[in-house]
């Protein structure tokens, strides 16, 4: 606090403005989440009256009971866990291995390969050709459709490659003198030193896998192979369609009054169910966002 008074007037104004901006950013994230939580734990019929902001007016678990009443929710949860774990681990490892190979300046045609990889970020074949491709390789209505097409990401590969290029060459040189081959160097030296970027890419991959409902909706027909996010989307659409039907029916206002779970309250409960696992995982990897472990690894 004493340091603050020693600052000049301009520095004090700059620091105060920074603090206010940070507080405003935090509130813009926290307050909507509190509103979602309040609506999720409030009965749907009561929530339709409005006036609920950061605390439920009536505490209730009716919305969550409706969510967990789905007969195949356990199967959907298992599919989501499978695709998130297997998809994230395999994608991070294979993308990092490809980036390690492409970062070598002696790789024949390395620049041309990077140009081709970057080209895939600019253009897409479209949904219909993509579906035809998946069907031709028998990935439609297959659980591996969640994993194999997303094994490689051009953007993640570029991030890995850029990070690997910043590692000091003497690390590899000393390892080769000790008799390490490329695969051993990658596993025992490069990957342990790349924990910060590995954690970030893994978190991005896990969030994408967990939240993806599109793949399960358009490329999977079997209900047993649909992930949790797709199941939640279908339940939400069913609840909203039911309410719209009742609202359009003349003289059925008493039926609407008997609805305890509405589309909006159900949506909020679904959001809580879907984001809770990611929120529980994030504290274990967030420290890698701000700090690496490369500092002091090389002394010359």
Domain harbouring 221, CATH code: 1.10.3720.10
Is 131 within a domain? yes
Is 178 within a domain? yes
pLDDT confidence of 147, banded at 50, 70, 90? very high
Is 222 within a domain? yes
**Residues spanned by the domain of 113:** 73-290
Element (H, E) at 50: none
Residues 188 and 180: beta-carbon distance below 8 Å: yes
- Mean pLDDT in residue range 193-222: 87
The distance from CA 170 to its chain's CA centroid, rounded to whole angstroms, is 35
pLDDT confidence of 144, banded at 50, 70, 90? very high
pTM, rounded to two decimals: 0.75
Higher pLDDT, 253 or 270: 270
Instruction: For residues 231 and 80, give the distance between their C-alpha atoms in angstroms, rounded to a whole number.
Output: 10
Residue that the structure tokens 């490809």 belong to: 98
Is 33 within a domain? no
Residues 223 and 72: beta-carbon distance below 8 Å: yes
Burial class from Cβ neighbours inside 10 Å (0-12, 13-18, 19+) for residue 86 reads: middle
Total domain count for the chain? 1
Is 295 within a domain? no
Instruction: For residues 115 and 98, give the distance between their C-alpha atoms in angstroms, rounded to a whole number.
Output: 14
Is 265 within a domain? yes
pLDDT confidence of 162, banded at 50, 70, 90? confident
Is 247 within a domain? yes
What is the structure's pLDDT at 250? 46
Is 29 within a domain? no
What is the structure's pLDDT at 2? 64
pLDDT > 80? residue 44: no
């Amino acid at each position: 606090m004493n340091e603050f008074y020693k600052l000049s007037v301009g520095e004090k104004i700059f620091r105060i403005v920074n603090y206010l901006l940070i507080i405003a950013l935090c509130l813009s994230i926290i307050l909507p989440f509190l509103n979602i939580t309040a609506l999720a734990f409030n009965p749907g019929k009561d929530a339709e009256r409005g006036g609920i902001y950061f605390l439920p007016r009536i505490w209730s678990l009716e919305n969550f009971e409706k969510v967990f009443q789905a007969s195949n929710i356990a199967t959907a949860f298992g599919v989501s866990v499978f695709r998130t774990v297997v998809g994230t681990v395999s994608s991070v490892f294979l993308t990092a291995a490809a980036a390690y190979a492409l970062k070598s300046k002696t790789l024949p045609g390395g620049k041309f390969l990077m140009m081709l990889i970057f080209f895939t970020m600019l253009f897409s074949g479209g949904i219909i050709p993509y579906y035809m491709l998946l069907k031709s390789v028998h990935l439609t209505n297959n659980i591996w459709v969640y994993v194999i097409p997303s094994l490689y990401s051009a953007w993640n590969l570029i991030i890995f490659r850029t990070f690997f290029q910043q590692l000091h060459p003497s690390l590899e040189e000393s390892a080769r003198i000790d008799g390490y081959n490329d695969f051993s160097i990658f596993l025992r030296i490069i990957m342990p030193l790349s924990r910060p970027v590995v954690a970030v890419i893994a978190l991005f991959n896990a969030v994408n896998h967990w939240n993806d409902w599109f793949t399960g909706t358009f490329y999977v027909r079997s209900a047993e192979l649909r992930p949790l996010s797709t199941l939640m989307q279908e339940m939400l659409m069913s609840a909203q369609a039911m309410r719209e039907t009742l609202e359009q029916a003349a003289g059925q206002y008493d039926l609407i009054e008997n609805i305890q779970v509405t589309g909006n309250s159900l949506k909020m409960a679904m959001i809580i169910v879907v984001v809770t696992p990611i929120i529980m995982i994030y504290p274990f990897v967030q420290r890698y966002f701000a700090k690496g472990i490369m500092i002091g690894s090389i002394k010359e």
